[in-house]
Structure 1
Amino acid sequence: MFVDEARVQVTAGRGGDGSVSFHREKYQPRGGPDGGNGGRGGSVVFLAGDSVGSLSWLRDHPHQRTADGGPGRSNNRSGADAADLILAVPAGTVVRDDEGRVLADLPAPGDHYVAAAGGRGGRGNAAFLSDSRRAPGFGELGEPGQARWVRLELRLIAEVAVIGLPNAGKSTLVGALSAARPKVAAYPFTTLEPTLGRVESTPSGASLGAAISSGALRGASGFTICDIPGLIEGAHEGRGLGLGFLRHAERALAFVHLVDLSAEGDPLAAYHLVRHEVTAYRPAMGDRPEVVVLNKVDAVDPSVVDRVSRSFAAAGVAPLVISASAGTGLDALVGRLVEVLAAEREAAAGRSGFELFRTERRALSVGRDDDGAWRVTGGSVERWVAMCDLGNPQAVAYLQERLDRAGVEHLLSQAGATPGDDVRIGEKTFEWWPSTSQRDHPPVQRRSTQA
């Protein structure tokens, strides 16, 4: 089953804890610290490729978690890094956060995005040895891995998108031009999901049908084509399945706009209706090359073809006339598309496909929570607190030094914090007392609870 949307919870592994250890051997009973660092937790990575064509597996398995890093050990032995979890997604997948912001666009095979980064391994006590700290009795805890929900959205990678009203013959055309076999029937909305096909350019002097039958197209240059299920009035506002269909046309270099000659009503009005829906969805899509095609010429009188062709010409549109079911006019259509795509490929040759949308690093700041507690965010302070063993007095003293050097106490004083106020950093809550470097007060006393 073709699935083009999925919501996935990605949870990266926690880093391994650093080891607190001192070297011990015969005749050296009081060796120096030799606790090793913890290993890095595994990350969750989305990798675009051609081996998968749908998001159905991720929709059915929405919870993806990696392993934690190994703990550090004595004798300066580091913990093992956890393996990353590589999740294959179709080329053309867009990754968004739960609020709809684009995180990454993966249009080409090999493009990848780290959706949840594994936590850093905590440093062992050997890393804290200094001239003033000769026997550090603490290490760092492993950093928690990132965890969040992301939304995956597939936009098919097709150079040509076939658009038009329901029952215009879009699936029939894709089936006639390629080896794809979409469902075809004589009623509207037969196609409920896009179909991707490969069209090869016809060798000189050969008909399209003969070239397909003889296999002469193998290895020839060609293009990919996709039928966009029928659009109706209001599709750009989400009527029907309009939005779900229109996004598959976003990456197309050119459009084949199919108009049904046998349908009731004015064909030119039908053309303008679909054109309006496409440009209303994404105005830039209106600037792409478009080959207008009048289909089902075999189902109407020649006078109708002549009249409709003249009405399109009067509107400044030069349509081709075909019958997708009978194979009439397909060679001319493929030839026109090859010419259009040659120019578009040359213009797009210098563009980079992969897009990564980075968020700026947050500056250190102080605010207030709804319950009146102070909240410190930004910089690296949340990570420092998360990796601190708050049950170890030496580790707490080291954390206090780091916060003081980062300017946390200065910002709290400027914001109006008073001794004894609750201060939250990450998921921890502290009772704040200014240090001796800030005011003439005994060393800071902190208590830690869950926020």
Structure 2
Amino acid sequence: MTTFVDRVELHVAAGSGGHGCASVHREKFKPLGGPDGGNGGRGGDVILVVDQSVTTLLDYHHSPHRKATSGRPGEGGNRSGKDGQDLVLPVPDGTVIQDKAGNVLADLVGQGTTYVAAEGGRGGLGNAALSSARRKAPGFALLGVPGGMQDIVLELKTVADVALVGYPSAGKSSLISVLSAAKPKIADYPFTTLVPNLGVVTAGSTVYTIADVPGLIPGASQGKGLGLEFLRHVERCEVLVHVLDTATLESDRDPVSDLDMIEEELKQYGGGLDRRPRLVVLNKIDVPDGRDLADMVRPDLEARGYQVFAISAVAHTGLKELSFALADLVSKARAAKPKEEATRIVIRPKAVDDAGFTVVQEEDGLYRVRGEKPERWVRQTDFSNDEAVGYLADRLARLGVEEKLMKAGARSGDGVAIGPEENAVVFDWEPTVMAGAEMLGRRGEDHRLEEPRPAAQRRRDKQAERDEADQEFDDFNPF
């Protein structure tokens, strides 16, 4: 049973943010010392990072569900909750991350390269952070935001300079074992190589990596045999080496037809594989019939423009010339690559008229509000607390949601939904000048924390506030 896995579907979930705390400081002779509820902790991220000591995705094949820890809730005494711990998942060099639709999200190449697959949720603010000169003692706190979730596909594409391509049992594993220190499994039967093998070769001042990957058969580009698994690992290689068997026992095969078949599969697969620099190796010339066949087909292959080497991996014949020829091709391929530019930070400012949200009337007459801020604010609101609902109304009004609803044609009593269909908050809209927290008598203020006033003065101030709010409502309400 093979222990190599190069494609898995992974389900990741970041940690949720901890809830904020609503608390009032109390001590002897000072029973109402003001709000002291702490903030909730941030949820942990799920981060993929390249680790060159990892060579397979086997761990994620057995355990495809991964979740980071959530943040802890805040506590009284201005104690913030502990942040959730990030979940770091090591992946092999050359891992491509895609969504389930096949769109590439990230291509991780190079030790330490990272990708945040799911972001942890924000922690909710405690009532100490929500207090202000106008709202001195909030009786509510914000809830933590749920962590992000995502289903992704991890696909490993081997990072190597040279790829050995050819039929099963053409001698690719034997060749890499004598060119480098790699120790692949070798046997005289098809599909001995079930996993890619990498070796490091030094030729003069050039050091390059060489990959021996599963062999090809006709129809490989359509997934027959191990073809797709093979071709996936060839994509990143700069140089291809056709390893042709000159001592095959199959009567319907010969080196030239083998080469034509492999070239056709590379062309069908795409990705520019048919345009990579390549050379031809005629292997197994230690067998008498093999050398005769190699001498016979060599002129034909050279006439096609191929650089041809006759070798024997078993007898170590012709290996030095082959190694230096590969080093020359690798050096030219590296020199032809554009130089990597320094990392640039691209700033894309938002348009001046970008409100950060949209209001769309749907076919059933419902007005739907979509946007990062209003949707997050809704998730952070405890709808069982009137003060929290009033605070949400204030925030939406300041953002301009109410004004945009009026411009879209919304009228009193129309249905409004904030968020996507699966978890939206739906309510009947009532247009106002001041949002809920203001209309309900300046929510969040605790007069017990203020200097005492005569009862008559308190009544007059309260009535004046009501009269002022009623007058502003009458002046604004167009209905």
With the shorter chain as reference, the TM-score category is: 0.7 to 0.9
Distance in 2 (alpha carbons) for counterparts of 1:339 and 1:321: 18
Q: 1:148 to 1:238 in 2, by over 3 A?
A: same
1:29 deviation in Å?
Answer: 3.2
Q: Tell me the equivalent position of 2:143.
A: 141
1:195 deviation in Å?
Answer: 1.5
Query: Is 1:117 aligned to 2:110, yes or no?
Result: no
How do residues 261-272 of structure 1 correspond to structure 2 at under 5 angstroms?
Answer: 261-263=246-248, 264-272=252-260
Distance in 2 (alpha carbons) for counterparts of 1:310 and 1:438: 89
Secondary structure at the counterpart of residue 297 of structure 1: coil
Q: Tell me the equivalent position of 2:89.
A: 87
Q: Is the 8 A contact 1:34 1:74 kept in 2?
A: yes
1:243 deviation in Å?
Answer: 1.7
Q: Is the 8 A contact 1:409 1:434 kept in 2?
A: no
Match of 1:129 among 128, 131, 138: 131
Query: Is 1:247 aligned to 2:249, yes or no?
Result: no
| Root-mean-square deviation (Å) | 3.0
1:350-391 Cα shifts (integer Å, max 9, x gaps):
337999xxxx99963345779875443233222111111111
Distance in 2 (alpha carbons) for counterparts of 1:271 and 1:60: 38
Match of 2:199 among 197, 200, 208: 197
Q: 1:221 to 1:118 in 2, by over 3 A?
A: same
Q: Tell me the equivalent position of 1:333.
A: 322
Q: Tell me the equivalent position of 1:224.
A: 209
Q: Tell me the equivalent position of 1:6.
A: 8
Q: Tell me the equivalent position of 2:280.
A: 292
Match of 1:436 among 432, 438, 455: 432
Match of 2:419 among 419, 425, 432: 425
Distance in 1 (alpha carbons) for counterparts of 2:291 and 2:100: 54
1:262-316 Cα shifts (integer Å, max 9, x gaps):
3444533322321232233234233332122122223325443233111112212
Q: Is the 8 A contact 2:416 2:429 kept in 1?
A: no
1:164-218 Cα shifts (integer Å, max 9, x gaps):
12222111211222222222222322222222222233x6xxxxxxxxxxxxxxx
Q: Tell me the equivalent position of 1:396.
A: 389
Q: Tell me the equivalent position of 1:207.
A: none
1:76 deviation in Å?
Answer: 2.0
Match of 1:317 among 302, 306, 318: 306
Distance in 2 (alpha carbons) for counterparts of 1:19 and 1:250: 53
1:17-49 Cα shifts (integer Å, max 9, x gaps):
111122333443332322221111111111111
Distance in 1 (alpha carbons) for counterparts of 2:38 and 2:215: 62
Bigger radius of gyration: 2
Q: Tell me the equivalent position of 2:340.
A: 351
Secondary structure at the counterpart of residue 380 of structure 1: helix
Q: 1:285 to 1:438 in 2, by over 3 A?
A: farther
1:334 deviation in Å?
Answer: 0.7
Distance in 2 (alpha carbons) for counterparts of 1:86 and 1:435: 47
Q: Tell me the equivalent position of 1:379.
A: 372
1:415 deviation in Å?
Answer: 4.7
Q: Is the 8 A contact 1:106 1:353 kept in 2?
A: no
Identity of aligned residues (%): 45
1:331 deviation in Å?
Answer: 0.8
Is 139-148 or 28-37 further displaced after alignment? 28-37
Distance in 2 (alpha carbons) for counterparts of 1:284 and 1:373: 50
Size of the aligned set, in residue pairs, is 423
Distance in 1 (alpha carbons) for counterparts of 2:210 and 2:157: 13
Q: Is the 8 A contact 2:369 2:416 kept in 1?
A: no
Is 366-375 or 43-52 further displaced after alignment? 366-375
Structure 2 unaligned blocks of 5 or more: 441-479
Q: Is the 8 A contact 1:34 1:125 kept in 2?
A: yes
